[in-house]
Amino acid sequence: MIHKSHSVADTERIAAELARELRAGDCIALYGDLGAGKTQFVRGIVTALGGEPASVSSPTFVLLNVYPTPTLRVFHLDAYRVSGAEDFEAIGFTELLEQGGVVAVEWPGRVEAILPKVHWSVRLNATGATTRRIEIHRCS
């Protein structure tokens, strides 16, 4: 499914639509350049699940942020600073997938070897200063 976002609010609304489809154990691979809106997309998911939007921030330097919501915990990871799948595995990626929450991974290309075969792929591409093309599909 392809969406066009004209603002941060649009990006968060599109993420909220995906949040309605999410189930415990789902993994979301978030592709996009710096500033494409990956963290905003996660904020939209957390908000839609009833979590605190102000708590959502980029996990670039801490590698993992956890956001509790009334329905599912959201584990927000960033693979930008890891050197490969082995590093991601060492921080407990596989165990996070078994926690009954949703795992969102920014920069998943660095750890594709260990992504679950079945996962959501979200590609955010800037098409202007405030516009984005967001492509969402279920990989299997």
Residue 59's pLDDT is what? 78
DSSP 34: T
Residue 106's pLDDT is what? 92
Convert the pLDDT of each residue in 29-53 to its tens digit: 999 998 899 999 999 999 999 999 9
The pTM score is 0.91
Annotated domain spans of the chain: 2-139
- CA 94 – CA 92 distance, rounded (Å): 6
Residue 35's pLDDT is what? 86
Convert the pLDDT of each residue in 59-101 to its tens digit: 777 788 999 999 999 999 988 877 778 888 887 888 888 888 9
The side-by-side arrangement of strands in the sheet containing 27-31 is: 2-5, 132-139, 119-126, 27-31, 102-106, 74-78, 64-67
- Strand 2-5 with 64-67, pairing: unpaired
- CA 21 – CA 23 distance, rounded (Å): 7
DSSP 69: -
Residue 63's pLDDT is what? 80
Indicate whether 103 pLDDT > 80. Answer: yes
Domain 2-139 in this protein, CATH class: alpha beta
